[in-house]
Every structure is written in structure tokens, then in C-alpha cells.
Amino acid sequence: ISVAQEHVATAITQYVMANVYTCANPSQPSQGKGVITGVEGELHQIGSHMVADMLELQGWDIRFLGVNIPHQAILQCIQDFQPALVGISATMVLKIPAVRDLIKDIRNHFPSAATPRILVGGSAFRTLPDVYREIGADEFAPDLRSLTTILS
């Protein structure tokens, strides 16, 4: 499909997601805090947005940062919000080094007691499912069902 067709499909999907979410009955936050983001240079956000919405519906207090976020902005959000969980999404394998660098920055900036649990997901990690260990993530969630199991 063309880039224009992909963008139309993305816009339609985001519209449907927004309408479905407004009809849902989210739980009151009781599961903890989380930050969901894509690294700098990541341009695809539907999957990570679905994750953020699902976690909110399950009672998490979520900050969805979107994609293409500079590392410093992510670190500042973690500092201010103090989440128990950080989810990082990457669609392309080329973004795995940026995810690795972000994880390293998170672990360096926050002492072990304050380090949030770091999960990764997205097509890049489904292509290389064991690489999450090599880059310092705590878990890899290949899909929403797996994420729910990991967090339960």
C-alpha cells in the first residue's frame, strides 16, 4: 500500500480507538502508575496507544507520551511521575539501539529502588524475541494478552 493509504488507515484506526475508548468504563486507578512511550525516531504509535488504553481500562494510571520522544523528556516524565512501569515500543529493528540507550539512561538516572520495571514491545522485538534481555529490559510483551499475564 502507499504511504498515503497507510496514513488514511492509521487515521481511521485512531478514530475508531478514540470512539471505543469513550464508550468504555475505565477502572479507577488502583494498579499503579505507568509510562508508555516510543523512543526518539519511532513514528508508529497505534500499538503503544492500544497498550496505554488497555492498561488504563484495567486500572493503571498511565501517561502515554506518544512516539518520537527525546530521551531527556522521557527521563523527566519518569522523575516527575515516578511510575512503577515503563513500556517502550519499537516497530523497526533499527530502533533497538535507541531502546537500549534509553533503558541504560533510565537505570543510570534512577537508583535500583526507584527504577521502574521496564517492558518492551512492538514489531522489532517480535522479530528478535530474546534481544530484550541483551538490552536490559525486564520483560518482553509480544501482545496485549501476554502483557496482561506479565502484569498479573
Is-contact 36 5, C-beta < 8 A? no
Q: In this structure, what DSSP letter does residue 28 have?
A: P
Task: Report residue 49 as a C-alpha cell.
Answer: 496507544
Residue type at position 118: I
Whole-number CA gyration radius for the chain: 15
Min mean pLDDT across 4-13, 58-67, 91-100, 124-133 is at 4-13
pLDDT of 132 higher than 80: yes
pLDDT score at 18: 80
Superfamily for domain range 28-151: Cobalamin-binding domain (3.40.50.280)
- The residue assigned the cell 530474546 is 130
Whether the pLDDT of residue 28 is over 90: the answer is no
Q: What mean pLDDT comes out for the span 115-143?
A: 95
Kindly report the pTM of this predicted structure.
0.89
Inform me whether the pLDDT recorded for 111 exceeds 90.
no
Task: Give me the mean pLDDT over the 56-63 stretch.
Answer: 93
Q: Give the mean model confidence (pLDDT) for residues 88-96.
A: 96
Domain boundaries, the chain: 28-151
pLDDT of residue 97: 97
Q: Which residue has the higher pLDDT, 74 or 21?
A: 74
Parallel, antiparallel or unpaired: strands 33-38 and 85-89: parallel
